[in-house]
Amino acid sequence: MPHVLAILATGFEEIETVTPIDLLRRAGVEVVVAALTEDLLVTGRSGLTLRADTTLAAVGDRAFDCVFLPGGPGVALLRADSRVRPLVLRQHAAGGWLAAICAAPTVLNDAGLLTGRRYTAHFSVAPELPAILAHERTVCDGRLLTSRGAGTSLDFALLLVEKLVSPAKAQEISAAIAA
C-alpha cells in the first residue's frame, strides 16, 4: 500500500485535511500526519485540534509515495519553513506524487513546480498563480494533484484514492459514504 505524508501547520483548514486523510486511510493507505513544529497538537483555522502522528523533524528524509499539503491560513507557515521547499523538490525529483489543496499550491509554485503545469487552487491565491484553472474542482497533471478548497475536499480525496490505490477503490469508498 502507498505511504502518504500529510504536513500539518497551525491554521490548517480542517475539512481539507481530515477528508483526504480519512478517505485514504479507508482505502488502506498509510498516512503519516506530521506536525510542522515539535508540538504534536496542531490547531486548525476553526479551532479544531488534531494530534499528529509525529513531527516533520522526526520524519527526516523518509521517502513517501505522496506528500500532501492541506490549505488554510497555515499555508503561510508551510511557505516560511525552510524544510518544506526542499522536501517538495525531493518528492518531485523522485517521481513521487504531490497533492495540494486551496492555498497550498503556492508552496509548489514557490518551488518552481507549477511552471507549464495544469493546476487549480483557491481564488484567494489566484493573483500569485496566473495559470490557475479557477473553475476546475480538481486537476491532475502527471503526479501533481490540486484542488480548489474546502468545498472540493471530497472530490480531491477521492482523486487521491483513485490515483494512489485504484479507480475501483475510489468508487467503492464513494458508494460507501454516499449511502
Residue 112 pLDDT > 70: yes
The number of domains in the chain is 1
pLDDT tens per residue, range 92-111: 999 999 999 999 999 999 99
Q: Is residue 137 part of a domain?
A: yes
Which residue range(s) make up the domain with 27?
3-174
- pTM (2 decimals)? 0.96
Q: Is residue 179 part of a domain?
A: no
For residues 150-177, b (16+ Cβ closer than 10 Å) or e, as one string?
Answer: bebbbbbbbbbbbbbbeeebbeebbeee
Please indicate whether residue 140 is annotated as part of the active site: no
Q: Is residue 85 part of a domain?
A: yes
CATH assignment of the domain containing 32: 3.40.50.880
pLDDT tens per residue, range 143-165: 999 999 999 999 999 999 999 99
pLDDT tens per residue, range 40-70: 999 999 999 999 999 999 999 899 999 999 9
For residues 4-25, give the mean pLDDT: 98
Instruction: State residue 19 phi and psi, 5-degree precision.
Output: -60, -50
Instruction: List the catalytic residue out of 34, 102, 104, 140.
Output: 102
